[in-house]
Amino acid sequence: MIAAPGYESEDTNVVVTYQEGCVIHTATIYTSTGIAELEQASVSDIRKQASVIIYGSFEDTHHVSATKIIICHRTA
């Protein structure tokens, strides 16, 4: 779930950190066929309000240390 712009809260925000070696991909998901294609990406490809899947471990309630990040794009 995402907070509507302007309604973000420090109580619900999560900080994501990553180290060198963190795997980052872009997944293009074709909703008409259900097929997904993965391509290598970089941190600079992550945009505000992007849908992401983050693999890693919680350091505490508001901090995730990422080992893999997938940027999701949906298309027909």
Confidence of residue 9 (pLDDT cuts 50, 70, 90): confident
CA distance 71 to 27: 6
Q: Domain extents for the chain?
A: 15-75
CA dihedral of 8, 2, 48, 43, whole degrees rounded to 10? 120
pTM here is 0.82
Query: How confident is the model over 53-71, as pLDDT tens digits?
Result: 999 999 999 999 999 999 9
